[in-house]
Amino acid sequence: MSIELILSTKIIEAIAQCYNHQVEPSLVQLQNTRKEFEGDITLVVFPFVRMSKKSPEATAAEIGDYLQQHVAEVEKYNVVKGFLNLVISPAYWVSVLNSASVHSNFGITEAAEVSKLVMVEYSSPNTNKPLHLGHIRNNLLGFSLCEILKANGNKVVKTNIVNDRGIHICKSMYTWKMWGNGQTPESTGIKGDHLVGNFYVKFDQEYKKEIAALIEQGETKENAEQNAPSMQGARELLLKWEAKDPETVELWKTMNDWVYAGFDVTYKAMGVDFDKIYYESETYLYGKDEVLRGLAEGVFYQKDDSSVWADLTPEGLDQKILLRSDGTSVYMTQDIGTAKERFQDYPIDKMVYVVGNEQNYHFQVLSILLDKLGFEFGKGLHHFSYGMVELPQGKMKSREGTVVDADDLMAEMIEVSRKTSEELGKLEGYTPEQAAETYKMIALGALKYFILKVDPKKNMLFNPEESIDFNGNTGPFIQYTYARIRSVLRKATDRGIELNRELASSTELSGKELQLIKSVTQFPVAVKEAGDMYSPALIANYIYELVKEFNQFYHECPILVEENVETRNLRLVIAETVGKTIKTGMKLLGIDVPERM
């Protein structure tokens, strides 16, 4: 049991005994003691003053006396105004270090048979273009969130919904038919998702030319956009696809297969995977059936042009179209169908959608519509809304071909990693194969950490060169610290030094040793908070603070040259435990750490 939980329980007991009041755990506010004061953990006393009817100082002293008498771990205390600073005994910190050092999964809660099942949807690509920088943030957030939820004792299903139908898909198909000249990934040597993406960009180029020509002939801009041959051709393909026209379906399957093969390569390079993949081409009909059921039951209404709508004005929103006048589905309809199928497939306790914040309204509406259709899970959906990622030169636009391709970015990161590592002499003595593998590990660690350390809710600016820095709040800095720890432990082994991981409770701790142990004990707290807040950034920034603390310890507290055997053993155990914590924490972010650098 953590010291925070022990203290919280006893503080509630103290209030009941001293002031005859029952208090909720939420009133017990514990925080780390500020560095200028003596103590480890501080209780904010102000919420209890009205119960004690005494001054904050007197109240703090009475609670402090009670805790010192009833909690063996509390060695002494001091009061600063309305704050009770508790000094925890060294024996407690040693016991926590002992536990952490021998526990293979310190800070991680394993799922049990009765654990909740959380389904997390992330990636959600369109099959008309390759994955880009925006997809990278989505995939990294989604994968890390799954790892964090699992570390909090949940069962997790990682799922992907592929947007493999709709007008945007038909745009690439139409362009291939018109200007493709039978090109394939094999004939061009172009990765399949890139080839199809090229046709999507070409559609936009040709479409704009057609609009300009029609406007020049006297058409209004609105009519020109509707009547442009390319747009009409794409719409015709969509109708043919929904009518199951054999030739259209065959082309659709072929081009999607090209894209899937490309996606698989990118996902593997990125280090993300899925337990279940859904395809909108299979789920949209479920949604259409549900909308028609809702229409028959009076939940939705139909306009004169046969389109079907939901009236959300009672909820303070607007009217939402669910089926177009030609009977084709919209995204909302597809999401209704996908949600229904998922809850039929799995006993889901919580559904989490990892989707950018431009879709906040969409998921607000989806939750309401599912509830209106009678699905119990409607109100419990969680939209993990995250901010956009941009580059120094600005926003990206897929149809204009100004996106930063995920494959190109990862390749660039590996090249930057190689150059930086060679300049710093980090990988001297490596074989070419070992060096190449480590360059990749550093590059992906830099990319993932740089993106995941930012609060998901915030927009972010991505700078490849800045992310590779071996100093500061970066992935390579953390990876290098881990490698340094492993080097110290290897040298200890080479010198015949054996670790005794069962430290005596009487082991003396210096200030730096104690501070580092306290930092390690916060790892389970960080894991829980990251799960509660749906924020990988909390893990990333915890690891960075731990690494900073270790590097100060490393420079001020000699390890291998320490002459006192007990002190040397203590420091080696601390180093090993910190290294293990770094590795576990980075794994929650989907990041590998090298044994040598």
Tokens 């479920």: give the residue: 286
Q: Are 301 and 308 in contact (CB under 8 A)?
A: yes
| Residues 369, 299 within the same domain | yes
| Residues 266, 370 within the same domain | yes
Q: Tens digit of pLDDT per residue, the chain (597 long)?
A: 789 999 999 999 999 999 999 999 999 999 999 989 999 999 999 999 999 999 999 999 999 999 999 999 999 999 999 999 999 999 999 999 999 999 989 999 999 999 999 999 999 999 999 999 889 999 999 999 999 999 999 999 999 999 998 899 999 999 999 999 999 999 999 999 999 999 999 999 999 999 999 999 999 999 999 999 999 999 999 999 989 999 999 999 999 999 999 999 999 999 999 999 999 998 888 899 999 999 999 999 999 999 999 999 999 999 999 999 988 788 899 899 999 999 999 999 999 999 999 999 999 999 999 999 999 888 889 999 999 988 766 544 444 445 688 999 899 889 988 888 888 777 778 888 999 999 999 999 999 999 999 999 999 988 877 888 888 899 999 999 999 999 999 999 999 999 999 999 999 999 899 999 999 999 999 999 999 999 999 999 999 999 999 999 999 999 999 999 999 999 999 999 999 999 999 999 999 999 988
DSSP label of 206: H
| Residues 380, 233 within the same domain | yes
In three-state secondary structure terms, 393 is coil
Parent domain of 289: 122-390
- Whole-number Å distance between alpha carbons of 81 and 16: 22
Give the residue from 33, 62, 88 where a domain finishes: 88
- Whole-number Å distance between alpha carbons of 86 and 77: 5
Check residue 36 and give its pLDDT.
93
- The tally of domains found in the chain comes to 3
Beta-carbon contacts of 396 under 8 Å, excluding residues fewer than 6 positions away, are: 132, 133, 134, 390, 402, 403, 404
From the list 234, 534, 241, 242, the residue with the least C-alpha distance to 399 is 234
Q: Are 308 and 291 in contact (CB under 8 A)?
A: yes
- The interaxial angle of helices 229-242 and 167-179, nearest 10 deg, is 110
| Residues 159, 33 within the same domain | no
Element (H, E) at 367: helix 360-372
What is the chain's length? 597
pTM of the complete model = 0.91
| Residues 59, 162 within the same domain | no
Provide the CATH number for the domain around residue 524: 1.10.730.10
Specify if 104 maps to a domain.
Answer: no
Q: Are 575 and 459 in contact (CB under 8 A)?
A: no
Provide the CATH number for the domain around residue 238: 3.40.50.620
Specify if 417 maps to a domain.
Answer: no
DSSP label of 166: S
- Whole-number Å distance between alpha carbons of 39 and 32: 8
| Residues 542, 477 within the same domain | yes
- Whole-number Å distance between alpha carbons of 172 and 255: 9
Give the residue from 321, 356, 390 where a domain finishes: 390
Check residue 423 and give its pLDDT.
82
| Residues 464, 543 within the same domain | yes
Check residue 401 and give its pLDDT.
47
Specify if 320 maps to a domain.
Answer: yes
User: How many other CB atoms sit within 10 Å of the CB of residue 49?
Assistant: 16
Specify if 431 maps to a domain.
Answer: no
Tokens 């003053």: give the residue: 49
| Residues 379, 502 within the same domain | no
| Residues 55, 127 within the same domain | no
Specify if 464 maps to a domain.
Answer: yes
| Residues 334, 386 within the same domain | yes
Check residue 402 and give its pLDDT.
53
| Residues 228, 281 within the same domain | yes
- Whole-number Å distance between alpha carbons of 582 and 485: 10
Q: Tally helices (H) and strands (E) across the chain.
A: 22, 14
Specify if 203 maps to a domain.
Answer: yes
Residue 371 is which amino acid?
Answer: D
Beta-carbon contacts of 249 under 8 Å, excluding residues fewer than 6 positions away, are: 241
Write the CA distances from 321 to 302, 329, 341, 522, integer angstroms: 10, 9, 21, 49
Beta-carbon contacts of 296 under 8 Å, excluding residues fewer than 6 positions away, are: none
Give the N- to C-terminal CA distance of the chain in Å, as an integer.
Answer: 37
Provide the CATH number for the domain around residue 84: 3.30.1360.70
Give the residue from 69, 88, 107 where a domain finishes: 88
Specify if 265 maps to a domain.
Answer: yes
From the list 297, 326, 350, 381, the residue with the least C-alpha distance to 156 is 350
Beta-carbon contacts of 327 under 8 Å, excluding residues fewer than 6 positions away, are: 242, 306
In angstroms, how far is CA 515 from the centroid of its own chain?
Answer: 29
From the list 121, 229, 222, 230, the residue with the least C-alpha distance to 168 is 230
| Residues 278, 165 within the same domain | yes
Specify if 134 maps to a domain.
Answer: yes
